[in-house]
Amino acid sequence: MDLKRIVVYIAIAFVLMLLWNDWVKDSFNHQQQVIQQAQTEAATDSSATQLANANDGAHHVTTAAAVSGQQVTVKTDVFDAVINTDGGVIETIKLLKYPQKVGENNNPVVLLSDKSGEQYLAQSGLISNGHVVPMVFQTTQQHYELLPGQSSVIVKLVWQNQQGLELSKTLTFTRDQYVIQSDYAIKNNGSQLWAGQLYNQLSRQDPASSAGFLRYTTFTGVAISSPEARYQKYKFPKLADSPIDQTIKGGWAAMIQHYFISAIIPPQSSTTHYYSRVSDSDDALYAVGMVSPTIVLQPGQSYQTHYKIYSGPAEYQRLTAAAPSLNLTIDFGWLWFVSIVIFWLMLKIHAIVGNWGWSIVIVTLIIKAIFYKLSASSYRSMGRMRALQPKMQELKERFADDRAKLGQATMELYKKEKVNPFGGCLPVIVQIPVFLALYYVLIESVELRQAPFILWIHDLSLPDPFYVLPILMGLSMFLQQRLSPAPPDPMQAKMMMILPVVLTVLFINFPAGLVLYWLVNNLVGVSQQWYILKTMNHGSKRKDVKTRNTPRR
């Protein structure tokens, strides 16, 4: 069995493994959706606070959205948000620049939500005497909107109890930013000492995946960061058995899903205690957050601090600017070091051409140019192998009944003609890591979500709706095989002829951007191979003519 066939089959097996893994996930998620829907329908809405133990005897909410407060709406160029005055909870965030589907601009992605069965909230408040302090904030407006010419809009929420303790929470929404600046001011206007803590957390129900069959589902869960471990991720079920319990300087805590992320970012110079909690209910709420060290305020004293909340698309550059290592939440897989280079190159090219499809084409051309000498050497080896086909056929006829002698004679022929039978495999081996790295770039990069190319390709992250690219890719593979030497074994030859059909069927459900890469890669490879073989044939003819015209002595 020749090495090229082995390499190709390994690649196919890996692809099949991905597809099988996706099918299993999709089947499991479908069952989970059915179970979750039944539980949601059977459950009644409840606003009761569910508490779980935390460090130093403190308690943190893992609760449904409050219903006793008023809703304050905030609209910017990127957000349509709702804040509940009961607890100052950010209970809804719609991402106005990210429609659910292409063309549905009035149906944006809902990231944070207070909807039963889909709850996903950003919460903060005070803890005193081991319990969360109930608070209903006051504000001067019920609607805030970022007007033309304004750079930001500020929402100030104020609460004060009968003992004179005051908390003001100021949320600043900035134009073209998914970072919400949260400034806190605690003031003791009473006559008694007050001691407590400030907490910030994200809580949500475990979301059922919406990924379809053959669409690889990426990580969904919780992640935290610290100077010692820049990226630690946890799937939601794991938090029940292995809760987060760490004291960290700086860092961040986040909830991650495909394409989008919410994160709480404390001051990087402060030290806070990170925790996770799971509520004990049918529709479990998972919480991750941080609680400050104990704050002690004498009468008349005040305390100020600030946090940031990122809630939006997992754009590499935005995450990089928001917090150290937050960009690591974009999971580029085990070939991340290759994916990062490809993605960086695509970003630079996109800044010039303005089209992600053409960026993929140009990146493919650059990759082919980098490996041109390697490919040329391989194609020459394949050309020499093809020239040996008549002699190899003679050996097959001579040793038809003795496979051992046939193999020995074939290797002697290779040695005599100075041909490496494995030389043509290198381009295939080089393509595999690039192919996988680009695969992760396409499925993880929100920049390519709903990115159009040309004509009927309106979303490079989805399959080609008319299967044109997969069919063209299959034809390019067939053409490439016609230029390559046929395997000596007839059965192998038939299997290699079927291979383009098999891969075409598999690639029908792959992202159009990935198929575009493979198509361009094949077309450039065919062109290179044709040119090199033509040059070799031309050189051979000139050599033969020179030999015939040389007079014998």
The reported pLDDT for the residue numbered 40 is 36
Domains and CATH numbers, the chain: 43-61+68-331 (2.70.98.90), 339-545 (no CATH)
How confident is the model at residue 551, as a pLDDT?
58
In the prediction, which pLDDT does 374 show?
73
Contact 206, 189 (CB under 8 A): no
pLDDT (0 to 100) of residue 510: 85
Q: What is the pLDDT of residue 250?
A: 95
Residue 137: the pLDDT is 97
Task: Give 10-residue mean pLDDT values along the chain (553 residues).
Answer: 49 53 44 39 32 38 59 97 96 96 90 91 94 94 96 97 96 98 97 96 78 54 95 92 94 95 96 92 86 96 97 95 95 86 93 94 90 72 69 76 77 74 64 80 88 91 91 88 64 73 86 90 84 67 53 54
Contact predicate 525/369, CB 8 Å = no
The pLDDT value given to residue 310:
98
Do residues 257 and 271 touch, judged by C-beta distance below 8 A? no
222, containing H or E segment: strand 221-225
DSSP state string for 475-524: HHHHHHHHHSPPPSSHHHHHHHHHHHHHHHHHHTTS-HHHHHHHHHHHHH
User: What pLDDT digit, counting tens, does each position of 364-380 carry?
Assistant: 999 888 887 777 766 66
Q: Residue 127's pLDDT is what?
A: 96
Tokens for 242? 């292995």
Read off the pLDDT of residues 94-144 as tens digits, 9 standing for 90 and up. 999 999 988 888 999 999 999 888 899 999 999 999 899 999 999 999 999
- Residue 213: predicted pLDDT: 35
